[in-house]
Amino acid sequence: MKAVFSALALSLLAFAAQAQTRPALTDTIVVRLPNQAVMTLQVRDAQQLRQLPQYHLDSLVARLGTYIQRADAAAKTAPTDKVTLEFFPNQDQPGQGLPEEIKVTTYKNKPGQRPYGPSNKVEVLLEKKFGVVVNTDRKTNDTPRAPATRPDRQANRDSVREKRFAEKASGTDLVFDFGLNALVNRGGPAAAPRNNDIDLRPWGSRYVNIGMTYHQRLGGKHSPLNLLVGPEFAFNNYMLEGNNKWVNQNGYTYVTPETNGRQYQKTKLATSAINLPLMLQLNFRDQHFQRTFTLGAGGFVGYRLGSWTKLKYFENGNTYKDKDHGSYNLQDWQYGLQGTIGYGELTLFAKYNLNKLFHDGQGPQAQTLAFGVRITGF
C-alpha cells in the first residue's frame, strides 16, 4: 500500500506541474487501487495538488479504517440514520504533519428503501479542502456490488408509482376546456321570423370552461373507477356567419340580416353559466402504472349567470364595438350529458344540452353541442 501511494504522489506532482500552465479549474482525480477500491480526490488548483504529500496518504488510509469502524459501530446504536464523528489526528500526535480534522459520516439505508445500491456510505473530509468518498456494502463481506441493471431501476420506479397510485385515493384537479359550439335539432315557431336560418361561424363560435374537479376512487386501491364532481364556469359563444345579427324584438329573439349597409366584422350572442357536473370515469394504467386510456360519462346541471350580444364593425375610419346585455329569452336553467375520452395526456370532451337554448316560442328552438380538448391537473 505504501508503494502505491508513493507512486500516486509522484503522479500527482507531475499533474501539478502541468496544471501551472493552464487556468485554475476544479479537477477530479479518481484512483483505482488493485483491490478494486476507488478513491476520489477533488482539487481546486495546482497549489492544492502540491500540498497532497504532506497528508501522508499511506498512513492516513490505515487511520481511516479505524475511524470508519468506530463510526459504523456508533451508527448501529444511534437513533438516527446519519452519524458524524470528528477526529483530530494532529492533536493526538503533534508534529507529524497529520490532518487537523477528519469527519466521518455514516449513512444507513432504511429496510426496504432501495432494492439496489450500497447499504452504507462513508464520507471523509480533510480540513474541508480535500474529500474522500468510500462506498461499502456490509451485507456482502465488503465485496463490491454490481451496478443496478436497467430492469432493476425500472422495477424501482414501478414500485414507487404503484405506491403513489394506491395511496392517492382522492384529490382535486384544475380543469380547462377549450372547444367549439354548434346548434343541433334546430326548428322554430312560425311567429318568429327566420328562426330556421341560423348559420354559425364554425371557428368563431367558441366554448371555454374553467373548473375545479374533485375525484374519489371507488373500490379497492387498484380500482380504475373514479367519481368526479366539481363547480365549473362555462362561456358559450354563438357567432353568426355573414352580415347577420341577433335581434330581440316584440318578445322574440331571432337572426336578421343588416339592412342599413353596415358591414359587420363580428356579431355574436354570448352566455356565461355556472355548472355542476357529476361523472364516472375509468382511468386505466399500463404495467408501469403510467396513465393510458381514460373514459368518462355523466351529466351536469347549471344556471345562466349572464348573456349579451356584441357587434364589431368598421365605419368612417374607426372600429366600433357595441355590447348589449339582456336575457334574450334564453333559458336560465340548463342540464345535459357530457363525456370524455383520452389517451396519455390528450383528452377530448363533448357536452350536449338536453334543454332548449331559448324559451319555447320566444326564439330559435335548438340545443347546444360543445366539443373540444380538455386539459387536467396543471
pTM: 0.58
pLDDT score at 221: 79
Q: Say what the pLDDT of residue 158 is.
A: 65
Tell whether the model's pLDDT for residue 6 goes beyond 70: no
Does residue 10 sit in helix, strand or coil?
helix
If pLDDT is split at 50, 70 and 90, which confidence band does 272 have? very high
pLDDT at 52 (0 to 100): 66
Q: Which helix (H) or strand (E) holds 302?
A: strand 291-315
Give me the CATH code for the 169-376 domain, please: 2.40.160
Q: Where are the domains of the chain?
A: 2-147, 169-376
Q: Is it the case that residue 114 has pLDDT exceeding 50?
A: no
254 with 365: CB under 8 angstroms?
Answer: no
Percent of the chain with pLDDT over 70: 63
Report pLDDT for 231: 95
Which of 93-97, 113-117, 241-245, 343-347 shows the lowest mean pLDDT across its residues? 113-117
Written as one string, the DSSP assignment of 177-245 is EEEEEEEEEEE--TTSTTTT---B-TTTSEEEEEEEEEEEE-SSTT--EEEEE--EEEEEEEEBSSSEE
Contact of 273 with 295, CB cutoff 8 Å: no
Instruction: Give the per-residue pLDDT at 199.
Output: 87
Give the C-alpha separation, 115 to 339, whole Å. 42
Q: What is the pLDDT of residue 262?
A: 85
pLDDT digits (tens, 9 = 90+) for 58-86: 666 677 777 777 777 777 777 777 778 77
User: Each residue of 130-183: pLDDT tens digit?
Assistant: 555 555 444 444 445 555 666 667 677 767 766 666 667 788 999 999 999 999
Whether residue 237 contacts residue 205, with contact meaning beta carbons closer than 8 Å, is answered with yes
Mean pLDDT over the full length of the chain: 77
pLDDT given at position 236: 97
